[in-house]
Amino acid sequence: MNASQIKEHMSIVCSEDKELGKVDHLDGGNTIKIAKDDKGQHHWIPVSWVAKVDDKVHLDRSGDEVMKQWMTSPPVGVTS
């Protein structure tokens, strides 16, 4: 998987193929910032969770796992 394939506004889907959000942008090359949800909250996930990229960003874990583990503030060293 090449992180340069990840583009703004692409859908992000979990391993069950359910959409979790859309890409806002890559932060620092190692983290994906997810566009604000309906509550106005951004989330961040590591690029290492990406299994593949086609017209969507496919993650290697379930939606429940993602939502338990995603970050609600930028990782240390990332200014977003």
pLDDT value at 28 more than 90: no
pLDDT value at 62 more than 80: yes
List the domain boundaries for the chain: 3-69
CB 2 within 8 A of CB 9: no
pLDDT value at 76 more than 80: no
**Superfamily of segment(s) 3-69:** PRC-barrel domain (2.30.30.240)
Question: Could you give the CA distance from residue 63 to residue 59 in angstroms, rounded to a whole number?
Answer: 9
CB 23 within 8 A of CB 10: yes
66: left (phi over 0), alpha (psi -120 to 50) or beta: alpha
**The model's pTM:** 0.91
